[in-house]
């Protein structure tokens, strides 16, 4: 079955750019049936959806977040990535990638999830 | 910010039944969008527990069940076990937020 694995730096300085990658195995990001999402969880807090990408490059982001997020896909490597510009301490969180499952009428859920990667923003 | 509200905590003795509520609005649950539930054991990633309001993925015990009515949904755990101690999150779709996927505030289940 599909498995996802996040990778990236554990520590980033304020105002720098954070880049994370999600590697998909057991399936293809080019599958037209699924969207691929990023979700984050600040320490001790709840889950926040960041955005998704389709293999064609179509993206959609959480409108509640500032437009500092960019999600991209590399079908040749079976990966998708998240970039956050000008990070602040508020971006400290565990970042998860996940595959979206879909039913009809806007029914979308996340399964499976990657194990998550902790990113700390600190000087 | 979370647009779906859950109680911060619920507790029960082993073998008991507990329920977790998830309250939304007319732009998400009340608009007819499905509710999904996740279980997050300490130090691990969330895992899908219920999808499409009341469907269990393969491997999820039938002790877990979901329901939806109006602008709210509920997750019930019957025959509570020590291994059920975890955080639980509901999730839906919100039409007022440009196709946003929205999560609940999360509920900590404690087995007494």
Tell me the average pLDDT of chain A. 94
pLDDT tens digits along A49-107: 999 999 999 999 998 887 789 999 999 999 999 999 999 999 999 999 999 988 877 78
pLDDT tens digits along B75-105: 999 999 999 999 999 999 998 877 689 999 9
Helix (H, G, I), strand (E, B) or coil at A98: strand
pLDDT band with cut points at 50, 70 and 90 for residue B42:
very high
pLDDT band with cut points at 50, 70 and 90 for residue B3:
confident
Q: Which of A79, A64, A66 minimizes the C-alpha distance to A8?
A: A79
* Residue B1 in this model has a pLDDT that exceeds 70: no
DSSP chain B: --SBB--SEEEE-TT--EEEEEE--TTTGGGT---EEEEE-TTS--EEEEBTTTBPPTT--TTEEEEEETTEEEEEE-S--GGG-EEEEEEEEEGGGTSEEEEB--EEEEE-
**Over residues A17-29, mean pLDDT:** 96
**Is B58 an interface residue toward A (CB < 8 Å)?**
no
| CB contact burial A30-42 (16+ within 10 A = b; e otherwise) | eeeebbbbbbbbe
pLDDT band with cut points at 50, 70 and 90 for residue A31:
confident
Write out residues 72-101 of B within 8 Å (CB-CB) of A.
89, 91, 93, 95, 97-101
Contact A97, A68 (CB under 8 A): no
**Over residues B67-82, mean pLDDT:** 97
- Contact call for A47 and B103, based on CB within 8 A: yes
Six-digit token string for A94:
């565990």
- Contact call for A110 and B2, based on CB within 8 A: no
Chain pair A-B, CB pairs under 8 angstroms: 75
**Over residues B38-66, mean pLDDT:** 97
The minimal CB distance from B47 to the residues A60, A106, A113 is found for: A113
For residue A60, which residues of chain B lie inside 8 Å, CB to CB?
A: 98-99
**Is A54 an interface residue toward B (CB < 8 Å)?**
no
Q: What is the rounded CA–CA span in Å between residue B32 and residue A23?
A: 34
- Contact call for A49 and B100, based on CB within 8 A: yes
């Amino acid at each position: 079955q599909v498995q996802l694995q996040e990778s990236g730096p554990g520590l980033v300085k304020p105002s720098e750019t954070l880049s994370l990658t999600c590697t998909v195995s057991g399936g293809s990001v080019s599958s037209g049936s699924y969207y691929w999402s990023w979700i984050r969880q600040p320490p001790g807090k709840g889950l926040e959806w960041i955005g998704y990408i389709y293999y064609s490059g179509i993206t959609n982001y959480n409108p509640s977040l500032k437009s500092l997020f960019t999600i991209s896909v590399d079908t040749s490597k079976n990966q998708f990535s998240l970039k956050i510009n000008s990070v602040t301490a508020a971006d400290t969180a565990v970042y998860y990638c996940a595959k979206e499952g879909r039913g009809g009428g806007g029914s979308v859920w996340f399964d499976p999830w990657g194990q998550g990667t902790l990113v700390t923003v600190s000087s | 910010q979370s647009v779906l509200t859950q109680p911060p905590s619920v507790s029960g003795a082993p073998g008991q039944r507990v329920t977790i509520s998830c309250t939304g609005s007319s732009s998400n649950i009340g608009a007819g969008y499905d509710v999904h539930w996740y279980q997050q054991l300490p130090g691990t990633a969330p895992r899908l527990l219920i999808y499409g309001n009341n469907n269990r993925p393969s491997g999820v015990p039938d002790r877990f069940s979901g329901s939806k009515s109006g602008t709210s949904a509920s997750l019930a755990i019957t025959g509570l076990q020590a291994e059920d101690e975890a955080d639980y999150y509901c999730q839906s779709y919100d039409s007022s937020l440009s196709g946003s996927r929205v999560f609940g505030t999360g509920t900590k289940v404690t087995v007494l």
